[in-house]
Amino acid sequence: MLLILGLCLGLPLCIGHQDPLVLAEELEEALRWDAPQIGHRVPRQIRLQQRLKTKPLMTHFSVKSTIISRYAFTMVSCSLLNRASEDKEFEFQMQIPAVAFITNFTMVVGDRVYQGEVTEKGKKHGDRARKQDNKTLEDNGEKGTETFSASVNIPSKEKAAFFLHYEELLQRRLGKYEHVISVRPQQLTGRLHVEVNILEKSGIVSLEVPPLQNSRQKGNVKAEDDVGLPPSTVINQNETFARIIFNPSIIQQAKIAQNGILGDFIIRYDVNREQRVGEIQVLNDYFVHYFAPKDLPPLPKNVVFVLDSSASMVGTKLRQTKNALFTILHDLRPQDHFNIVGFSNRIKVWQNHLVPVTPNNIRDSKVYIHHMTPTGGTDINGALQKGIELLNDHIADNDIDSRSVSLIVFLTDGKATVGETQSSRILSNTKEAARGQVCIFTIGIGNDVDFKLLEKLSLENCGMTRRVQEEDNAKEQLIGFYDEIRTPLLSDIRIDYPPGSVERVTQTLFPNYFNGSEIIIAGKLIDSQLDNLHVEVTASNSKKFVVLKTDVPVASHSTGNDVTGVSTPKDQHTDPNYVERLWSYLTIKELLTSWLKSDDEQEKELLMERARALAVNYHFLTPFTSLKMKELTPEATQMAAKEVYGSSAAIGPETVVQSLHGKNISPEPDFKKQYNPRIKISRTSADGDPHFVVDFPLSKLTVCFNIDGNPGDILRLVSDHMDSGVTVNGELIGAPAPPNGHKKFRTYFRTITILINKPERSYLEITPNRIVLDGGDRLVLPCNQSVVVGSWGLEVSVSANANVTVTIQGTITFVILIHLYKNPAPYQRNHLGFYISNSKGLSANCHGLLGQFLNQEPNLTKEPAGSSSYRSHADPAVSQADPSSETILKVKGHRVPVVWKQRKIYNGQEQIDCWFARNSAKLIDGEYKDYVASHPFDTQTTFGIGASQ
């Protein structure tokens, strides 16, 4: 028996262009395995039957995928019958995503079973495999796919079955995950079945199944409709689970494509994203962290478009490139800067420096692109050097904010023919010039491009690469690639976990995060008994730095074998943990990338050994491993045949659903355990009904007073607009008094607003549910997640459901306590408490209900005069024992009777002793109405320099 395995280009088998309904009727009978001899037919039908009987007949073709938290397990199976009177060779072919790893391949020919085994491959074989992979990608007419093929002789009248397993981590692009299944059985099939089960604990949103996508090779598929679901497609979906089934009859297949080659069945979806720090899942000590923040303002871009205008770009390629650039230029934002470099054997620069995005500059650049003509050779090295030089000069000359993103979009259709033509020198020159500060995104158009060079240019310079086919939709392909990178949201991203808590963590440093994409990290917990995993994300965003923090409960995620990922081969005994397999997938991908980038032979050898060992352990077919077929013994054959015929790509969804919705669901975070709302800060505060506390540290006096406000009033708490530029106001909300209370109603602060005018104007609005920060870019933060954001001179730190700390210029700090009630009584309201932690940056002219006391020192005396001597606040017993005396507080020229009192602060968790002012109207300047603001960000005051006229 002849058996050939490999990755190769699959060509369609054509069986004519008869009327699809007539053809389907003929095949309905011909596809029966034991069909009787067909009687007298017209010559055309006889020829059809003869052609059918000269090649094996595919009676069954099915694909089943199970996607668990973006990680997809897929199995392809097909059955064949050789109806000829002699042995026939058949080539099983399947296009799989280029990012996928094959994990198993099994064949059953007659009563013999051949099973694939992933084994090591030597270094030379690894190098050759890598070259073959690149060649395969070049020869393959499909974008981002490789073709697996296996050739085998099928004896006359015998049956054969093929089972191919592969795994992949779905990549998020433009806000969607895309799962692509190649449905190309190469003939009309009696039973064609595609089933996809999606399980996403965080919730499935935006699920769509577009029409079948045509093959890149024209003429293979004739779409029945331009819109709508593929025929016979059924979708069943709830919040966290979806099942999509595609099961076309022969007649439906013939209507779609007469020759049976259908195309790509595609599913796109996204998941709910509520936590800004991302989603973390843990299973059997392995964890995966998905990070895809949203609602962030875009970073400014410095972009240079480097376009190939050599002679080979003549015709469709250059025309499509120009049309795409016209659209892309209109998508640039006003804060961006750009330039255009055309290259052939000469380097032609539109402007000698980067220019801002203005209508005139966009118009002039389009004119420049329109007049580009193809001529000469291809100087790739010179073009890249010029593009990088323009970006470096722009950054140096204009003192550009480090939080902007500098990138090159480089497009070519060929190989270097002018100037430096050696790939290694081009790579080293580019890397040396870019210095890690310029990201290069490469596009190879057509079939003659040096894709390996483009791939390595992007890998070494924090970019991505794409292949674009030379066809009618090349414009859409170019625009689609640019759309992936058009909106950078974060740069210099670093994701940290506590030292000693995790190990084997994949990449944690990322140069950029683009809107609609996703960052994924995986690793293993060191302590399996760990209750919470602390996560901290640090990044730059526009003029701000962003720090996201959270503690994630992990203990309840540990489980046995409740979640399995794939029907494993007989000799595979590893724990079928989908999170662990995802970790191994990511780790191997990163090792392969590092191996490709490295030029050091010793380092490459170590990387290859690590990748190879991991791939063998987890049964991944990689450039460093091979798939060897071996025939099983009769005993093993019986078991294996039962396994492969009865297996599916992944376990039934019931088990996984039970696991994801049952005991492995992580509980909602227990904020009381994660964050202690009790904070050790200054006692100077306004909290509760509201009760005011002023702490005088020098005299060691603490004074309390009450303000009976009205619901809806906005009180001035701190007014220092003219000096430090800080104003704090608090809006009151009303509630009924508790039973037997002495008041008719209560008031609480429901909103605290802070206006900062220096060094930049920023507005901050805090409620028990959210924080709105507007400093030019509006940012909304939930109060139930820990996060730190900041810009020059301002930092806002949220401790989930506990407090918000606002630090201004490093010298002023306010803490806002969040008071929440799980089951509030009628007289209770979710409200805020305002505390001044650091007031060094506030001026001597500061005013407001609290601000007027910050730079004062009080004095305590006893009256009537001469009847008692001065008693300090440290001797309350004496003052209480002498009812004839009265304690008088002297501050700011005011004289107020006070009594010794105990009061609870910090959410009622700490009790303090203070001197309570019996009449607050005599303690504060002016009257109550002088402290009522007209709107939340009112900076006027009745007192001091900023007084209203």
- Condensed to tens digits (0 to 9), the pLDDT of residues 442-483 reads 998 887 888 889 989 998 898 988 888 766 577 788 888 888
Percent of the chain with pLDDT over 70: 78
At 610, list the tokens: 């690590």
pLDDT level of residue 559 (50, 70, 90 thresholds): very low
Q: What confidence score (pLDDT) does residue 720 get? A: 94
**Three-state SS for 761?**
coil
Cβ 587 vs Cβ 77: under 8 Å: no
Q: What confidence score (pLDDT) does residue 23 get? A: 43
Alpha-carbon distance 288 to 555, whole Å? Answer: 15
Q: What confidence score (pLDDT) does residue 193 get? A: 92
> pLDDT digit string (tens) for 267-302?
999 998 876 678 888 888 899 999 988 778 888 899
Q: Are strands 301-308 and 337-343 parallel, antiparallel or unpaired?
A: parallel
Higher pLDDT: 538 or 127? It is 538
Indicate if the pLDDT at residue 754 is higher than 90: yes
CA distances for 837 relative to 512, 687, 804, 828, angstroms: 36, 14, 12, 26
Q: Which DSSP string corresponds to 767-788?
A: -SSEEEEESSSEEEEETTS-EE
Indicate if the pLDDT at residue 132 is higher than 80: no
Mean pLDDT of the chain: 79
User: How many Cβ atoms sit within 10 Å of the Cβ of residue 355?
Assistant: 18
Indicate if the pLDDT at residue 684 is higher than 90: yes
> pLDDT digit string (tens) for 609-639?
999 999 999 999 999 999 898 887 765 655 5
Residue type, 926: G
Higher pLDDT: 568 or 911? It is 911
Residue type, 51: R
> pLDDT digit string (tens) for 733-743?
998 887 776 66
Q: 629-643 as b/e, with b when 16 or more CB fall inside 10 Å? A: eeebeeeebeebbeb
Q: What confidence score (pLDDT) does residue 4 get? A: 54
Q: What confidence score (pLDDT) does residue 171 get? A: 92
Alpha-carbon distance 477 to 911, whole Å? Answer: 66
Alpha-carbon distance 616 to 120, whole Å? Answer: 7
Alpha-carbon distance 65 to 243, whole Å? Answer: 10
Indicate if the pLDDT at residue 865 is higher than 70: no
266 by Cβ neighbours in 10 Å (0-12 / 13-18 / 19+) ranks as middle
Higher pLDDT: 532 or 891? It is 891
**Average pLDDT rounded to a whole number, residues 694-710:** 88
Percent of the chain with pLDDT over 90: 36
Q: What confidence score (pLDDT) does residue 51 get? A: 54
728 by Cβ neighbours in 10 Å (0-12 / 13-18 / 19+) ranks as buried
First-residue to last-residue Cα distance in the chain: 101
pLDDT level of residue 257 (50, 70, 90 thresholds): confident
Higher pLDDT: 233 or 825? It is 233
- Between 125-134, 136-145, 911-920, the lowest mean confidence (pLDDT) is in 125-134
Q: What confidence score (pLDDT) does residue 672 get? A: 33
**Every domain of the chain and the residues it spans:** 53-122+136-216+227-272+622-645, 301-486, 684-865+884-933
Alpha-carbon distance 48 to 187, whole Å? Answer: 13
89 by Cβ neighbours in 10 Å (0-12 / 13-18 / 19+) ranks as middle
> pLDDT digit string (tens) for 637-677?
555 544 444 443 333 333 333 333 333 333 333 333 333 33
- Between 207-216, 689-698, 759-768, the lowest mean confidence (pLDDT) is in 207-216
> pLDDT digit string (tens) for 15-37?
333 444 444 444 444 444 333 33
Alpha-carbon distance 586 to 507, whole Å? Answer: 9
> pLDDT digit string (tens) for 903-936?
888 766 778 889 999 888 889 999 999 999 999 9
- Between 137-151, 398-412, 516-530, the lowest mean confidence (pLDDT) is in 137-151
**Average pLDDT rounded to a whole number, residues 710-727:** 93
Alpha-carbon distance 308 to 320, whole Å? Answer: 12
At 770, list the tokens: 């959210």
User: Which secondary structure element, helix H or strand E, spans residue 381, and what is its range?
Assistant: helix 380-398
Strand partners, 787: 548, 798
Q: Are strands 803-808 and 812-819 parallel, antiparallel or unpaired?
A: antiparallel
Higher pLDDT: 590 or 905? It is 590
Alpha-carbon distance 544 to 795, whole Å? Answer: 9
Strand partners, 729: 716, 753
Higher pLDDT: 546 or 394? It is 394
| Count helices and strands in the chain by DSSP H and E runs | 17, 50
771, 277, 782: which is closest to 538 by C-alpha?
Answer: 277
pTM score, whole prediction? 0.68
> pLDDT digit string (tens) for 204-226?
999 999 988 874 433 333 344 45
Cβ 207 vs Cβ 269: under 8 Å: yes
Q: What confidence score (pLDDT) does residue 275 get? A: 64
Contacts of 287 (CB under 8 A, 6+ apart): 280, 281, 502, 522, 523, 524, 525, 533, 554, 579
pLDDT level of residue 863 (50, 70, 90 thresholds): confident
Indicate if the pLDDT at residue 703 is higher than 50: yes
User: How many Cβ atoms sit within 10 Å of the Cβ of residue 738?
Assistant: 13
Cβ 606 vs Cβ 594: under 8 Å: no
**Average pLDDT rounded to a whole number, residues 400-417:** 83
Alpha-carbon distance 13 to 283, whole Å? Answer: 45
Indicate if the pLDDT at residue 13 is higher than 50: no
CA distances for 260 relative to 15, 82, 234, 256, 654, angstroms: 9, 18, 21, 8, 33
